[in-house]
Structure 1
Amino acid sequence: MAEQVRILNGNTFVVSDERGDIEASRTDPSGLFAWDTRFLSTWVLTVDGQRLGTLSVDDLQYFETRFFLAPGGGTVYIDAQLSVMRQRTVTEGFRERLAVLNHGEKAVELTVHMEAGSDFSDLFDVKNDEGKKGELYTTVERDRLVYGYRRDTFHRATEITSEPRAKMDKNGLTYKIRVEPQSHWTCELRVTPILIGRNGKRTRLGGPKAAEDMGDDLDRWLESAPKLECEWGPLRRTYRRSLIDLAALRFSPLTSGGRSLPAAGLPWFMTMFGRDSIFTSLQALPFAPELAATTLRELAARQGSRFDDFRDEDPGRILHEMRYGESAAFQEQPHSPYYGNADATALFVVLLDEYERWTGDKALVRDLELEARAALRWVDEYADLLGNGYVWYQRRNEKSGLENQCWKDSWDSISYRDGTLPGFPRATCELQGYAYDARMRGARLARLIWKDPDYANKLEKQAADLKRRFNRDYWVADGEYYALALDAEGKQVDVLTSNIGHLLWSGIVPQSRARAIARHLLGPRLFSGWGVRTLALGEKRYNPIGYHVGTVWPFDCSFIAWGLRRYGFKKEAAQIAAGILDAAEYFDGRLPEAFGGYPREETKYPVQYPTACSPQAWSTGAPLLLLRTMLGLQPLEDSLVVDAALPVGIGQIELLGIPGRWGRVDAFGRGLLHTDRQGRGRPELGTTGAKRRRAAAAV
């Protein structure tokens, strides 16, 4: 299978092969997609009936790629008299500039053909190999080719135009051209996705920005982010890659007024996800706090308001996933939206508080008071399926709902030591940590901003009671760690997992037990040398390339490192940061969703996991949170505390112009510069410093 080339712009993306061609099968995520529908499934260029070979592919920007092609591919030698350049830009759909260059001494007459077609597959159809239930049609108008799909009120179309005009038929566009020696012929094609309403009104679904505008937008995005100066070059490259990928993954819901939040990942999850958007917003707070504001507003606008078993909806519950395609429109799957997660609701309150601590935006906290209270009520009442004070999950939609509604949502991620799977409902440990953190943070907001001390006292009392019971019921005494979960009978699901690191981040762990947790996280069973495994080496279901049962997830590790810093384990946090940032070098600065959990001393490089999403939001955000963790950045009223602890080899870090309620400040840290960053070298602490670049302003 040819290497895929992916370019995107907000809600629209294109996946092709290295020639720029699209030949999508029913289960292949190739094509032009917008709002969960594939608007173009065939886009194949030939010259005189011949396919072309790839000379090179230049990724100009995340929204623009150039393909250099020539006849005669498939052999070692290419000595063509012709070459072809395709420059594709994702705008409203995409624009493709096609150039045929004649390098010979004689004029040539050629037939250039672009085969086109659309199956209008819903993204869920592509994933599940489902056929279409409506009517596909094609119309050839005087100056445009239109592919369409109609099913009741669901009506979509793809419009293709060309300058100069081509001969068009249902199979595509044809040009009869003459190219003089040492000259070239060019044309520009535009492919536009269209929504057609009941009244026949046509609405373009792609973004309206031109390539120049998008380039300016990216420049502004990078300019607004803090500037990183670092002696270790790979960190600079990883940081820039993360910022660009985060820009690429910005998704603008129809109700957002053009403001963006992080989509989960390309190609399957270019949409709003409760958990993923919240986690990524938390990671990006010191770098792009506006993402958190949009995430909070858009999730609040779609907060659950009723009991709906089909969507696993409850009053106050924060959505899991929102979809806009045909299957959602006809309720063939529940993602309109779907609420089947047990963590995003508590995390919503966590993000709201952390956002206010960072930005001082009290107005948003006041605006979302009712939604935050509803979320806390869900945690207290509707999530407690057994009435014992814990957050449990069990899907009500047995046909298409998620079985595991925590972040480790694969079928086999929750198991006992002997490898057997518990029944339902389940109460995983990190859910209790999130609930504890949400109550503590909600109490702060209630006391300081909502001016309701009685409610604050109630939340703090609930949090203290949860912490006491949790440390009694989840503590595995013979291993000195916390169980992954409780089953419905209250029995411990007693495997050792990375979830215990999330408990440090939430604050539910007593200081007296924190060192034991840190030892496990950096011990040989969990720490691979690159990062923390999702499931410990030696557990029955451990698999170094199992999705949630032994791989290393950069996002997971970034929050574990943050939790270690919360409890004062600076060296341990720095060691995890060093492993993940070292791994990023092997992926050209773009951390994958997950990679193999093999011991570092055995492989010498992180083993690729065949993940579907690239880029992926919370992996893109991992280096940002690790930077915050290494520098020890913590908002304290109208000041930013800096307490750097850098791993071996980083040298000096300067993060300049960090935005927040203090205006903009700079942060500095220094560690020892080592040439050898391989193996399990212990991190060394750096000196710290910070200077205020402009006066802090209370908001």
Structure 2
Amino acid sequence: MAASGTVRILDGSTFVVSQDTGDIEATPTEPTGMFSLDTRFLSKWVLTVNGERLNSLSYDDLQYYEARFFLVPGMATHYVDAKLSIIRERAVGGSFRESIVILNHDEKPVDLEIRMDAGSDFADLFQVKDEILNKKGELYAEAEADRLRLGYRRGNFHRQTVISCSRPARFDSNGFAYSVHLEPNEQWHTEIDVQSFAIGPGGRDLRMGLRAHGTERLALQHDLEEWIANAPKVNSEHDRMAATYRRSLIDLAALRFSPLSLGGATLPAAGLPWFMTMFGRDSILTCLQTLPFTPQLSRTTLRILAALQGTRFDDFREEDPGRILHEMRYGETAAFEEQPHSPYYGAVDSTPLFIVLLDEYERWSGDVELVRELEPECRRALRWIDDHADLVGNGYIWYERRNTDTGLENQCWKDSWDSISYRDGTLPPFPRATCEVQGYAYDAKIRAARMAREFWGDPAYAEQLEREAVALKERFNRDWWVADGGYYALALDPEGRQCDVLSSNIGHLLWSGIVTDERAEQIARHLVGPRLFSGFGVRTLAEGEVRYNPIGYHNGTVWPFDTSFCAWGLRNYGFAEEAATIASGILDAARFFDGRLPEAFGGYPREQTKFPVEYPTACSPQAWSTGAPLLLLRTMLGLEPHEGHLAVEPKLPIGMGRIEVLDIPGRWGRVDAFARGRLDLHRLAD
């Protein structure tokens, strides 16, 4: 790869963002560093030879957990006659290990002073994101004969970075150095180990219980190979489909996150760099997308979220009994309650989605044991929907933040401040109720009724839930329908007035099943119509709305995850052609990002830009964008569990050709699915 930009490597709870030379020089505008548990453990990591900075010839990000940098001293004009070359190779896997190789290409011996400047500001990730560094504790640096300790203390909050080397080095408080003599054509090598510690009572490392993928490259490689081997195999005449699928699997492996104190189980973190932690909504939706391919993520996600379900009323964290968390953080600002994410419960969709995922997981896996194990948590979640989420008293789920200092204003997936509006562009008062959350609640009640009848031995409760779901569907179709537009409103305000803009949220209503059959065709037409469909995906807000902006975060961009659920919803209502059209757009977009779909990209019309324009601060990789191609595969092949078997009913876009998905796991064991579409030879040759 040519040298440019930043290089990111990650492994679950640890990630490193560096310059293309491998150096780290953290600034407010360039958030590089080594991060773990929402803390930056390295903010400076600069290699010099004889006091001279190095320049990059090229770098390779070999796997998600390792990278290699090829460097020479001096500026670019020196490259032709460089007498030294330097190779930096690094990997993360619970710790950060770097090897340095220096090669003398001269016919004369050389004496070199090799130095690594090292330091840490121990910044909280929220401080880095907000470009505000306000440390209230004590930073220290302690040089010992064989290591350097960098640390930060504030009360009981104690973080430490320990640096050691395979060769003897001269350590000081700002780094370490070597004096090296190299004969002609000789090379020198050292290994550097960087360990990060979250120190608790008694000096114990709080992360000792975490599942690490290993600190050695062979262990990391074996883990990745095993992950890929356990997933279904995808072969396609359209080779970009198979490449995008593999890229998604690898990124999912990288995003596996192990929460503290939960025995090393993993769930998908939301995304790099800002959201390498658990998010209720993001983790659940990612599991729904990837269920046919990586079902093990769903089981652990459900158990972890159940273990952290709300038990009390806490306005600061916006916790209620039965509520499923929104976000968990482990940094300094959470520890000292400068922000509420310890955990924070300010989301209204993760609770019904928890029930949806449990039922969908059982339909695929046949894991009745988990459904019975989590019955109490499901019942508490259903009580939260009925007793605590209905802030207005009309049977809908509403939100209004109780933590007015640091809580989220909008507690749906479109959580930016201006994402919910009326047609004239003004913002509604609180509380607010968004349409897709009512669909999730409807779906949760229907699914919980099935579980109550079949697994909990409570048919009376099942009948009650079904009656409630029917009544909710009837009310919803009365109150949310925008008659002059032929679609459902984005939201209601507390007076029942509609936020009557056309948005992508209507696609979520399809996959939840709350849309009446006679209105589904109008919704389908909107989703593939020119106002919502850009040619690459479904816009979050329709072109022509007052707040429409093709690069507005939730007001006109295309989110691949959002589009994938729109396609799934279309397929569930029998609109296979429309679902294939949407799937084709997103998969076409993926090739412009080497198979790694970003969090969001611009909603410009495809014919105008010819390629998808990436949103400037999009996370990449991001879990539910990584999951989008997998849900689209399921949608295109029509994969659905049916009476203990896997049903396959393909409908492929033109140009897809033949697809094979082999060894799909489920209650049926492992089965294969095949589909053939019409090849577009011109497109295939692009």
Question: Who is 1:142 aligned against?
Answer: 145
Determine if the alignment matches structure 1 residue 41 to structure 2 residue 47. no
Asked whether the 8 Å contact 1:99–1:185 carries over to 2, the reply is yes
1:202/1:289 Cα in 2 relative to 1: closer, same or farther (>3 Å)?
Answer: closer
CA offsets per residue over residues 125-182 of structure 1, 9 Å max, x none?
2122131000011111121100111111111110000110111101101111011111
Query: Which residue is 2:441 aligned to?
Result: 435
Paired letter, 1:416: Y
**Is 1:595–2:601 an aligned residue pair?**
yes
2:664 aligned to 634, 658, 662, which one? 658
1:411 aligned onto 2:417: yes
Q: CA deviation at 1:26?
A: 4.1
Could you say which residue in structure 2 is the equivalent of 1:303? Answer: 309
Paired position in structure 2 for 1:17: 19
Aligned-residue offset at 1:28: 3.7
Matches within 5 A, 1:652-691: 652-677=658-683
CA positional deviation for 1:675: 2.4
Q: What is the CA deviation profile of residues 646-685 of structure 1, one whole-angstrom value per residue up to 9, with x for unaligned ones?
A: 001110000000000000000011010002449xxxxxxx
After superposition, the Cα gap between the structure-2 partners of 1:27 and 1:375, relative to the gap in structure 1 and judged at 3 Å, is farther
| Partner-residue secondary structure (3-state), 1:51 | strand
**What is residue 132 of structure 1 aligned with on the other side?**
135
Q: C-alpha displacement at 1:610, in angstroms?
A: 1.1
Aligned match of 2:283:
277
Q: Distance in 1 between matches of 2:392 and 2:337?
A: 30
1:228 aligns with 2:231: no
Which amino acid letter does the alignment assign opposite residue 641 of structure 2?
P
* 2:402 counterpart of 1:402: no
* 2:86 equivalent to 1:84: yes
Quote the residue 1:72 is aligned against.
Answer: 74
Instruction: Give the structure 2 partner of residue 338 of structure 1.
Output: 344
Matches within 5 A, 1:429-508: 429-508=435-514
Cα deviation per residue 1:348-396 (whole Å; 9 max; x = unaligned)? 0000000000000000000000000111111111110000000100000
Moved more, 504-513 or 67-76: 67-76
> Which amino acid counterpart does residue 48 of structure 1 have in structure 2?
N
Q: Deviations over 1:191-217 (max 9, x none)?
A: 000122332345666834422111001
Q: 1:367 aligns with which of 368, 373, 377?
A: 373
How far apart, CA to CA, are the structure 2 residues paired with 1:204 and 1:486? Answer: 44
Question: 1:430 aligns to what SS in structure 2?
Answer: helix
> Does the Cα contact within 8 Å between 1:544 and 1:598 map onto a contact in 2?
yes
Kept in 2: contact 1:29–1:267 (CA 8 A): no
Deviation of 1:58 after TM superposition, in Å, equals 0.8
Q: Which residue of 2 aligns with 1:108?
A: 110
Query: How far apart, CA to CA, are the structure 1 residues paired with 2:676 and 2:93?
Result: 43
1:323 alignment partner, one of 325, 329, 332? 329
Is the deviation greater in 84-93 or in 207-216? Answer: 207-216
> Is 1:197 aligned with 2:200?
yes
Letter in 1 for 2:70: F
Equivalent-residue separation in structure 2 for 1:636 and 1:204 (angstroms):
42
1:546 aligns with 2:528: no
**Could you tell me how far apart the structure 1 residues matched to 2:256 and 2:314 are?**
30
* Closer, same or farther: CA 77–109 of 1 in aligned 2, 3 Å: closer
Q: Secondary structure at the match of 2:681?
A: coil
TM-score (norm 2): 0.97
Partners of 1:7 and 1:90 within 8 A in 2? yes
CA distance in 2, matches of 1:202, 1:508: 48
The 10-residue stretch of structure 1 (636-645 or 120-129) with the greater mean CA deviation from structure 2: 120-129
- Indicate the residue corresponding to 1:641 in structure 2: 647
Q: State the 1:38 CA deviation.
A: 0.8
Which residue type is aligned with residue 87 of structure 1? E
Deviation at 1:91, TM superposition (A): 2.4
TM-score normalized with structure 1 length: 0.96
2:174 paired residue number: 171
The amino acid that maps onto 1:101 is L
What is the CA–CA distance in structure 2 between the aligned matches of 1:300 and 1:438, rounded to whole Å?
16
What are the superposed Cα offsets for residues 624-663 of structure 1, whole Å, 9 maximum, x if unpaired? 0000000000001210000000001110000000000000
Distance 2:670 2:262 in 1: 27
Distance 1:203 1:563 in 2: 43
Secondary structure (helix, strand or coil) at the match of 1:52 reads strand
Q: Tell me, what secondary structure is at the counterpart of 1:245? A: helix
- Partners of 1:200 and 1:595 in 2: CA distance: 45
Deviations 1:464-509 (A, max 9, x none): 0000010000000011100000001100000000000000000000
Matches within 5 A, 1:598-613: 598-613=604-619
Taking a change above 3 Å as real, the CA distance of residues 204 and 183 of structure 1, as seen in their structure-2 partners, is farther
Give yes or no for contact 1:413–1:549 (8 Å, CA) kept in 2.
Answer: yes
**Equivalent residue number for residue 58 of structure 2:** 56
* Partner residue, 2:33: 31
Partner of 1:241: 247
Deviation at 1:555, TM superposition (A): 0.1
2-structure distance, mates of 1:105, 1:259: 55
Q: CA deviation at 1:73?
A: 3.0
CA–CA distance in structure 2, aligned partners of residues 560 and 576 of structure 1: 8
| Partner residue, 1:390 | 396
Return the alpha-carbon distance in structure 2 between the equivalents of residues 73 and 529 of structure 1. Answer: 44
Counterpart code for 1:158: T
Is contact 1:557-1:576 (8 Å) kept? Answer: yes
Contact 1:92/1:204 (<8 A) preserved? no
Provide the C-alpha distance between the structure 2 equivalents of 1:604 and 1:533, rounded to a whole number of angstroms.
Answer: 16
- Read off the aligned partner of 2:57 and give its amino acid letter: L
Unaligned runs of 5+ in 1: 679-699
Does the C-alpha gap of structure 1 residues 473 and 202 become closer, same or farther in structure 2, counting only changes over 3 Å?
A: closer
Residues 231-264 of structure 1: per-residue CA shift (max 9 Å, x gap):
0011111000000000000011223322211000
Letter in 2 for 1:14: V
Mean Cα displacement is larger for which, 116-125 or 572-581?
A: 116-125
4+ residue segments displaced more than 4 Å: 202-206
- Matched with 1:7 is 9
Give the conservation status (yes or no) of the 8 Å contact 2:206–2:260. Answer: no
String of CA shifts for 1:33-89, please: whole Å, max 9, x gaps.
Answer: 111111111000011111111111111111010001112334485320111000001
The aligned counterpart of 1:287 is 293
Percent pairwise identity: 67
Give the residue type in structure 1 aligned to 2:164.
T
Structure 1 pair 381–677 and aligned structure 2 pair: CA distance change class (3 A) = farther
Q: How many residues of Structure 1 are paired with residues of Structure 2 in the alignment? A: 678
Check 1:64–1:386 CA distance in 2 against 1; reply closer, same or farther (3 A cut).
Answer: same
